[in-house]
Amino acid sequence: MSEYATRKVILLCLLCFAPVSLPAETVKPNIVLLFVDDLGWYDLGYRNAKFETPNIDRLAGEGVDFTRAYIASPTCSPSRATLLTGKHPARLQLVRHIPTGTTNGFDKWGRTDQEFNQWDGDPAQFPCRNWLPLEHTTYAEALGDLGYHNTFIGKWHLGHEPYHPDKQGFDVQFGTSNFGHPKSYLAPFFKNSDVLSDVKNDYLTDVLTDRCVDTIKSYEGDQPFMLSMWYYNVHRPPVPRPDLFDHFKSKGYDDTDAIYAAQVKAVDESVGRIRHALATKGIADDTVIVFLSDQGSWYQNLPLRGSKRVDTLCEGGARVPLIIHWPGVTKPGTQCDGLVQSTDLFPTFVEMAGGDSSAFSDLDGISLLPAIRGNPLPDRGEPLFGYRAYQDLYASVRDGDWKMLAYRSGKVSLYNIAQDESEQNDVSESNGDIVKRLTGELVAWEQRMNVQQYSGVQ
């Protein structure tokens, strides 16, 4: 009998004979990670009535809503690499999305032998990786060593076949292509790929959700599992499910708003179906659900400044929804307003599973378990750093209420986010001491990440 099964038997016996109940953390929980693409912080019903997300709203009401959660490099591939490894994209040398096309050295199937790519518009000409090297430990590998079965479903965007999920610690993968987004959310989904080519009449999010539900229904292992559902939605192309588009058009939405609201609602329906499958299987109380977006929306996320296209290190591009629900551990209706980052998820998963995150080298985050249990976040000992390699704006330093933006050209700007959430009032000139301190923090951090040669402030 496995360790997990033995502990289950012990727990059942104790429940029969002991007058007190044991905490949910006594047994390793299943973990379901719902990772959405390009979902803005305000693009949920409980924050913005324009969107209909009753299932996600319910999840937020039952778990911990991390209201100040940030992506270390708000871009598709870097956000995924950091989530997987707990390492900052700058450390990984993966600070842009992995491109495609013959001009970038890729064949039509999204494969390349070139390890690095360049971006014409990047002032620093930072060489960025075309895949996540296998040498880095992923959360799937870490949890596998702790007895977990790992299933991956959906978007990868961290390299072609030799670097796919099944080479990075996942036992099963489904719906994974070499591309960062589909050709369409209506079949056929992908160009130059056999992935899901047998699907004729369905919506991509529903196909992936069907697989999630089937995985939960059929799972009979005597070990805990982690199910990673990495959505392609709500990334472009702007292709809605027809019935959901009609629903929002009937409410008076214009085409653009109806399409996006329909894409968001498709994700929300998926979340509801996955949670229903867990409840039907009788394992909802044994399962942690983590809901996260990879970066801000394609669209403006007013009143926040920035999006995935413009001023991306500003709040509208870098701040994302993060909800964690652990039955019996999280207190319903809890908000955590402390600063957290996607670097924090790897150590959190390891410690949820009963492991020791300090056993892993070069992690750039902290475990969120204290906040999940209702306690204050531990002091991480340094600010949050954002970093990208596309335009002049390349780095952010977030420390308490202060946020400094740094540019390759040497410019810096400073905002008090508590007073100026929209980042409209640059107060750097009147707060030279804070600018000096945060600039020093950035310089030291760039040196630790070994990216000082591309700095705009060194």
Cite the active site residues: 76, 157
Contacts of 428 (CB under 8 A, 6+ apart): 404, 412, 413, 414, 435
Looking from the CA of 334 toward its CB, the CA atoms found within 13 Å total: 22
* Residue 45: count of CB within 10 angstroms of its CB: 20
Q: What is d(CA 73, CA 95) in angstroms, rounded to the nearest whole number?
A: 7
Three-class SS string for the chain?
CCHHHHHHHHHHHHHHHCCCCCCHHHCCCEEEEEEECCCCCCCCCCCCCCCCCHHHHHHHHHCEEECCEECCCCCHHHHHHHHHHCCCHHHHCCCCCCCCCHHHCCCCCCCCCCCEECCCCCCCCCCEECCCCCCCCCHHHHHHHCCCEEEEEECCCCCCHHHCHHHCCCCEEECCCCCCCCCCCECCCCCCCCCCCCCCCCEHHHHHHHHHHHHHHHCCCCCCEEEEEECCCCCCCCCCCHHHHHHHHCCCCCHHHHHHHHHHHHHHHHHHHHHHHHHHHCCHHHEEEEEEECCCCCCCCCCCCCCCCCCCCCHHHHEECEEEECCCCCCCCEEECCCEEHHHHHHHHHHHCCCCHHHCCCCCCCCCHHHHCCCCCCCCCCCEEEECCCCCEEEEEEECCEEEEEECCCCEEEEECCCCCCCCCCCCCCCHHHHHHHHHHHHHHHHHHCCHHHCCCC
Question: Is the bond leading into 240 cis (omega within 30 degrees of zero)?
Answer: no
How do strand 128-129 and strand 116-117 relate by DSSP bridges? antiparallel
Contacts of 436 (CB under 8 A, 6+ apart): none
Q: What is d(CA 183, CA 163) in angstroms, rounded to the nearest whole number?
A: 22
How do strand 402-407 and strand 412-416 relate by DSSP bridges? antiparallel
Token pair listed for 105: 């050295």
